[in-house]
Amino acid sequence: MGAALGMAATAAFALSQDWPAVIPFTSVAAGFGGAVLVGVAAGLYPSVRASCLTPVEALAGG
């Protein structure tokens, strides 16, 4: 949804300036890849930490 909103805003601004709306695929792919990388790291880090604890310690926040 964010990518679609960004592309729509880019197209609207380009049209208001009488420019062609050019959105390189590499930029879209890099943004998506970065978001996936951050999401994986944000999910993997706490799960690896929790796997080293007993279930009671993990649920207690220790």
The identity of residue 22, as a single letter, is: V
pLDDT, average across residues 10-23 = 94
**Confidence at residue 2, expressed as pLDDT on a 0 to 100 scale:** 84
The identity of residue 19, as a single letter, is: W
Cβ count within 10 A of residue 29: 10
* Residue-wise pLDDT tens digits, 39-61: 999 999 988 988 898 988 878 87
The answer to pTM > 0.75 is no
Query: Rounded distance, CA 53 to CA 56, Å?
Result: 8
Least confident window among 5-19, 20-34, 48-62? 48-62
